[in-house]
Structure 1
């Protein structure tokens, strides 16, 4: 039997890994991961991404070795590494999952496909999660997703019989990577992923529906599995089925009058629905990868491109906008690599509506900061918050309202904006409203220790909406919106509410 090469990308696990299982049925298996220069040099890369991936690779290597396999980790372009491996093994089959990545990964895969044809190597690409390649229509996509989620979990193979010894991943210092900026406490790897999911489903997740909105409670009340999904330490199908199993358990406990916390019912249902949305957004990127670079709705081209304010953008990046909730979120994200979804949305909203920044530089700023960076979700979400999808409700978040709703005691702001710590709770979300005496008692000099707001939220967003709706009302823009719906719409029943959502 000939050697089978399994090319691991962002699917670093042995459970529910169809390419690995299929390859093992055909012959001895060599696992391969390529550390590509394009990845290390890309603007969306951060050292923390490498560290998490390396932890995941060490976990994967151990799992493969326990099954008689070996993981080969090499540095270079895909063609360089595959050429070298081909010279030593003369393999005829290459296995991998389909990948939905940024432009350079798409171009690399096309190059690898040509290389395989030239070498007579058959490249077997298997579907990954609920994303459908070459999807002709969004009609019926939900049914395809459901069928994939219900398929039996693929068990990890044994007896891999690798003909090569393992080659473990290099360290960050060996590669000359810069000092780590993020301080994430999450460790990569399949076992860590399963432990995190289990703790959420059985311990931390009871109040998920409420906890997920606040950066204070979200750090524990959210599932925290997003980095593991991004790097494939878990498959979406695994999460879906384990959640369904937990839902059945909760249902049985409720029927028997033995359910200790009734909040589990709604929280698990809410979490389950978000798994579908996870794939829904990546499907947009798969169907139209160009949205990494341009507006989903081309009618909004030119809306913000000529108005970039570098001073305002720099203040945002530094967490010195004068809006404490915005600045606390920026500083927290920079330090930890994580922020709950609502606060992520608020940051993008503030950047694109209050500061009138284009979503593209904002997306490139945030991508390296998110430990769970997933391009398919990231670019779609940035555009949705910026209003350039043309089909979603306008989302404008008031930073002061968000602080008072989701940091009622001011604890989050005090932790990350300590220069305001002595302000009374009633004023900490809007220090410019404090009197001279109140500022003096708190030992604060605005503009010295903490800046005044870059813009007035009400005035800035009113002007932004005026410019935005002047474009949205155009007939050609309305027609283009229908094209976007046909290509990317979720096929949900339309909302009874109007398209203009109230300020959040």
Structure 2
């Protein structure tokens, strides 16, 4: 191929898969050769929401893609650059006819980058064609018929990756391009306990879940230790696009189950819809990244405590289930939904800290960080939507109920391992004599509680319940229901 020939570029972002990738399929339907591109963007490499674990997962995903692409004598052009700079470099070799990508529901920095890239494409006479992502739609004003449209999309045909010969730029062409780029180093640490990226690994998790692990899905979903096995564990692969929701939805639908299993699979499928629902909410109201969706809560002022926040981040609050959950999350990138909700509730209610101060620490730790889930969920758990039930999680009640034998706590807070189970849940109840008996010193071997949970829980409850009657909160609640959830609730009522 000579210089300045026309090509298409598929700009991969959070859709790191070949199968059921509409951007790739649409590019291959044209008569132009196609380049597959991933850009490690400076704006994201430097963004405080991201951490090394995310980029390692992406690198592993690209390596997995490259292994699949060997059959076609091609690979991903993976570079470190700004997006417009990357496309300028490519245009030194080729004329770009069209760029194909999925519609990204991302951070404010990616939203602004997309606006800049729109201008770039217009100025360079390039078509930018974006595909719907997992049933999330852009430009909606309300949720009328959203469920029906989402289910139609989920049941539609899966895009099959079947390129013809020479449709994809070959190794030689890509190596020529690499000569003018800072090529990304795709090496990652071999021995970590984080889940590894890539569609191949993602399907291993999905297949074992559908084969047997789903059998205790609902029974163990809230248990911090048992859920690590009986939950699907595919959330990172969905967040980074190794698997599409449509692929997983149809796989679940195909599963032949007995009456007992059907309940578990139905619950799992409902969470796929739940995932899309929250991303759709964020797509329609992106200001949620920085401020509460309900403007009535903007007047809520909390005194920032650096010491409280530090103890929470380090798992040293004196509340064992909170500390075990945080330490597990930091070390593995995963805790189940209930523990995530409890961590957010403890931070915002018991410690009475602004949810905005929890955003970056949690996003850096969640291997499955997804902006469209992250911000709406934080606000919901903080009780600042005005439309959701106020939930102030009691960590002791939750540990006794969901980790009664303290297996999870002892695993992640080993300094409590030598205590009897009752004291593992509530070490602060130990008398000095009991501490001496166990050769354990509260405040030295494990911290005393950093706050009085009963007093702080009542304070949070009283303030937030009283705010529900605030005229601005009530007006905003009505607006939110009308825009985001009213049609959903009508649908649920009809289904009952």
TM-score, scaled relative to structure 2: 0.93
Q: Does 1:407 align with 2:403?
A: yes
After TM superposition, list the pairs within 5 Å mapping 1:270-419 onto structure 2: 270-304=267-301, 306-419=302-415
> In structure 2, do the counterparts of structure 1 residues 414 and 490 end up closer, same or farther at CA, with 3 Å as the change threshold?
farther
Q: 2:141 aligns with which of 131, 136, 139?
A: 136
> In structure 2, do the counterparts of structure 1 residues 413 and 495 end up closer, same or farther at CA, with 3 Å as the change threshold?
farther
The equivalent residue for 2:424 is 428
Q: Is the 8 A contact 1:285 1:291 kept in 2?
A: yes
After TM superposition, list the pairs within 5 Å mapping 1:32-431 onto structure 2: 32-159=37-164, 160-162=167-169, 164-165=173-174, 170-171=184-185, 183-246=192-255, 249-250=256-257, 254=258, 263-304=260-301, 306-431=302-427
Displacement after TM superposition at 1:192 (Å) = 0.9
Q: Is the 8 A contact 2:74 2:168 kept in 1?
A: yes
The one-character-per-residue Cα deviations of 1:64-102 (angstroms, maximum 9, x if unpaired) are: 332344311111100100111122111111111110000
Partners in 2 of 1:157 and 1:128 — Cα distance? 20
Partners in 1 of 2:307 and 2:479 — Cα distance? 37
Runs (5+) with no aligned partner, structure 2:
none
SS in 1 for 2:472: helix
Partners in 1 of 2:292 and 2:208 — Cα distance? 39
163-172 or 337-346: which moved more?
163-172
Partners in 1 of 2:88 and 2:221 — Cα distance? 47
Q: Is the 8 A contact 1:68 1:158 kept in 2?
A: no
Partners in 2 of 1:9 and 1:107 — Cα distance? 15
Partners in 1 of 2:325 and 2:111 — Cα distance? 33
Q: Does 1:16 align with 2:20?
A: yes
Partners in 1 of 2:351 and 2:370 — Cα distance? 25
Partners in 1 of 2:192 and 2:146 — Cα distance? 38
Q: Does 1:452 align with 2:452?
A: no
Q: Is the 8 A contact 2:40 2:184 kept in 1?
A: no
Partners in 1 of 2:291 and 2:163 — Cα distance? 45
Partners in 2 of 1:126 and 1:392 — Cα distance? 32
Partners in 2 of 1:134 and 1:142 — Cα distance? 16
Displacement after TM superposition at 1:161 (Å) = 3.5
Displacement after TM superposition at 1:404 (Å) = 0.6
> In structure 2, do the counterparts of structure 1 residues 169 and 428 end up closer, same or farther at CA, with 3 Å as the change threshold?
farther
Displacement after TM superposition at 1:369 (Å) = 0.2
> In structure 2, do the counterparts of structure 1 residues 358 and 136 end up closer, same or farther at CA, with 3 Å as the change threshold?
same
SS in 2 for 1:243: helix
Displacement after TM superposition at 1:494 (Å) = 7.6
Displacement after TM superposition at 1:195 (Å) = 1.4
Displacement after TM superposition at 1:116 (Å) = 0.5
SS in 2 for 1:327: helix
Q: Is the 8 A contact 2:33 2:169 kept in 1?
A: yes
> In structure 2, do the counterparts of structure 1 residues 170 and 161 end up closer, same or farther at CA, with 3 Å as the change threshold?
closer
> In structure 2, do the counterparts of structure 1 residues 393 and 494 end up closer, same or farther at CA, with 3 Å as the change threshold?
farther
The equivalent residue for 1:502 is none
Displacement after TM superposition at 1:183 (Å) = 4.4
The equivalent residue for 1:500 is none
SS in 2 for 1:408: coil
Q: Is the 8 A contact 1:214 1:407 kept in 2?
A: yes
The one-character-per-residue Cα deviations of 1:456-497 (angstroms, maximum 9, x if unpaired) are: 22211101111222222122321111001112216343899x
Partners in 2 of 1:271 and 1:137 — Cα distance? 26
Partners in 2 of 1:169 and 1:469 — Cα distance? 54
Displacement after TM superposition at 1:330 (Å) = 0.8
- TM-align CA RMSD: 2.0
SS in 1 for 2:365: coil
Displacement after TM superposition at 1:132 (Å) = 0.6
